[in-house]
Chain A
Amino acid sequence: MASLDDLKKRIASVKSTQKITKAMKMVAAAKLRRAQESAEKGRPYSKKMNNVILNLSNGISDKENAPKLLSGTGQEKTHLCVVMTSDRGLCGGFNSNIIKKAKSYFAKILDEGKELKIITVGSKGNDQLKRVYGDKIIENISFKESKNANYFDADKVGKMVIEKFEADEFDVCTIFYNQFKNVITQIPQAQQIIPLNNEAEENSSEESYEFEPDEDEILSNLLPKNISTQIFKAMLENSASEQGSRMSAMDNATRNAGEMVDKLTIEYNRSRQAAITKELIEIISGAESL
């Protein structure tokens, strides 16, 4: 059995760990509120953008000459995957969930004999992926300096993706991120952004629009912006998810530490009592023998 001193030290160390996890939980909760707010505020923009593009692509007259960002290059040989993760750890399954999703997608692509290129955003994703897919990673971006997700950063990533697309470096682009549902649930998402995946158009308006200048020109202007917007949306969702995930992970850790302190305290008291009893027995038997 561990000595009383050892137990005391362990209790103290678990307690101080608990203090840290508790503080991290508080911080995450505060940040979560802000991140969640901005994720929700950012949704109308990307939704509106999507609507406009949907309306535009419905109205486009000449489908064959549609911009390549919309219709694709006509082949699916090279896939570019943008894996968006956090820069900091201690956030539960947040990063590994994205990575898991991404890895299964990578395996599928490689099985089909297609070429794979990876851009990682956030250092944690890069750390986890470079062991297996190190040779496929072409770029690694991290926004450690930026405190909050901002559009400027997203635009940088977006411009890079478009640049590579125009240089014919890939045919299909997919982004991986965690969608924020609530504090305990974040859903890893794979979203194809090039060519634009027109999901079943539920309420495509029959109404015709007037375009100024014509559809093609608006589209070719809008599509690059949409890429940045989608990436920005992913970044916002990600940062909310990260904080949510961290909060619940730290909540768990705090609770576990509490349980451990209780258990150790009981053990400590028990061995303290045992020691006292032992001493008493020794004294009494010593007195009797006289």
Chain B
Amino acid sequence: MSEEFKVEIVNPEKSFLVKDDVSEVVVPAFEGEMGILKDHISIISFLKPGIIKILSKSGDENFYVEDGIVEFKNNNLSILTSTIFNLADMDKSKQQDLLKQAEEEANKTDINDQSKYLADQKVEVLKTLN
């Protein structure tokens, strides 16, 4: 039995990534990081800003996401997200831009606790990337 399953990342514009030789995916779920292996129970959860790690035969990949939903069912992992970047393609200036945006957002006073929390998360994650 192979220990691999299929992962699909879609953003509103297109199907971002499809891979079917994935052995493990770590997603930044809302209540903490979550590693998903083959034959995981069906689950729906949503994401907070963080790093998605995809471990597969053809090489590991890391993505930065700001939000999204994960659905795992029948060894198919679907990740729906509106903001996603491949860390390999992300250069310093892009990082700085995002960080600046996130910081601005976090410093707003007229936002509710949850958006504040999410913005803080963004800042934190982006800082660790540097």
A interface with B by C-beta (< 8 Å): 38, 41-42, 44-46, 48-49, 51-52, 55-56, 150-151, 154-155, 205, 207-213, 218, 221-222, 225, 229, 232
How many A-B pairs with Cβ below 8 Å?
Answer: 73
Query: Taking the nearest CB of chain A, how far is it from the CB of B110, in angstroms?
Result: 14
**B11–A209 contact, CB under 8 A?**
no
In whole angstroms, how far apart are the Cα atoms of A205 and B44 in the complex? 14
What 0/1 readout, one digit per residue, does chain B (98-125) give for beta carbons within 8 Å of chain A? 0000000000000000000000000000
State whether B80 touches A49 (Cβ < 8 A).
yes
Q: Which residues of B contact A218 (CB under 8 A)?
A: 44-46, 69
Nearest 4 A/B pairs, CB to CB: A41-B14, A151-B12, A212-B45, A210-B43
A52–B44 touching, CB < 8 Å: yes
Chain B residues proximal to chain A, CB less than 8 Å? 10-15, 29-31, 34, 41-46, 67, 69, 71, 73, 78, 80, 82
Distance in Å: Cβ of B26 to nearest Cβ of chain A: 15
A212-B29, A213-B31 given as contacts; is B13 within 8 A of A221 (CB)?
Answer: no
Given A46, A55, A154, which contacts B44 in the complex, CB threshold below 8 Å?
A55
Contact across chains for A41 and B13 when beta carbons are under 8 A apart: yes
Given the contacts A151-B12, A229-B12, A48 and B71 also touching, CB distance less than 8 Å: yes
B10 touches A45 (CB 8 A): yes
Query: What CA separation (Å) do A229 and B69 show in the bound complex?
Result: 13
Contact check: which of B15, B34, B42, B46 meets A221 at CB < 8 Å?
A: B46
Q: Min CB distance, B40 to chain A, in Å?
A: 9
Give Cα distance in the complex from A211 to B41, angstroms.
10
Name 14 extra pairs, CB < 8 A, besides A45-B80, A55-B71, A213-B45: A41-B13, A44-B10, A45-B12, A49-B80, A51-B71, A52-B69, A52-B71, A151-B11, A151-B13, A205-B73, A207-B73, A208-B42, A209-B73, A229-B12
